[in-house]
């Protein structure tokens, strides 16, 4: 995973902590969508992926500011019956905000992560992750 973190830092100009947290948030979203068993089958064999999932911020909605607002919106959307896709998107945005990253930077994470996954597991792995994240 150091290669992925280095790519994110270099290509996006983020800190190492932001790179780890953002990549972890993306992998956590995939894990939430796939379920732990299928996630382990697809990505569990990649060294360090579980460490990144563990480093994803979990209390993004608890703070103030934009992160708190987005986390609150995600919670409210869930209670109102909004689609899981909308709730997941709001939660991801909240997580990136908690890392001090704006929406534009957050949107640049996914292509870097997917490119890394392609080098690790090929296009079939990327297709499965994309399907799980509904991309």
Measured distance CA(42)–CA(38) in Å, rounded: 6
In this model, does residue 68 exceed pLDDT 80?
A: no
Q: What is the mean pLDDT of the chain?
A: 81
Give the residue with greater pLDDT, 76 vs 91. Answer: 91
- Which sign does the torsion angle of CA 52, 69, 34, 129 carry? negative
The model carries a pTM of: 0.79
């Amino acid at each position: 995973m150091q290669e992925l973190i280095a790519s994110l830092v270099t290509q996006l100009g983020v800190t190492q902590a932001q790179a780890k947290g953002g990549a972890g948030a993306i992998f956590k979203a995939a894990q939430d969508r796939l379920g732990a068993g299928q996630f382990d089958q697809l990505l569990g064999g990649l060294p360090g992926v579980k460490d990144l999932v563990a480093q994803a911020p979990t209390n993004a909605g608890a703070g103030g500011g934009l992160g708190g607002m987005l986390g609150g919106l995600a919670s409210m959307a869930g209670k109102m019956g909004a689609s899981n896709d909308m709730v997941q998107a709001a939660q991801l945005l909240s997580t990136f905000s908690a890392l001090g990253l704006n929406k534009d930077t957050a949107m640049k994470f996914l292509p870097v992560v997917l490119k890394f996954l392609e080098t690790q597991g090929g296009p079939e792995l990327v297709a499965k992750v994309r399907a799980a994240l509904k991309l």
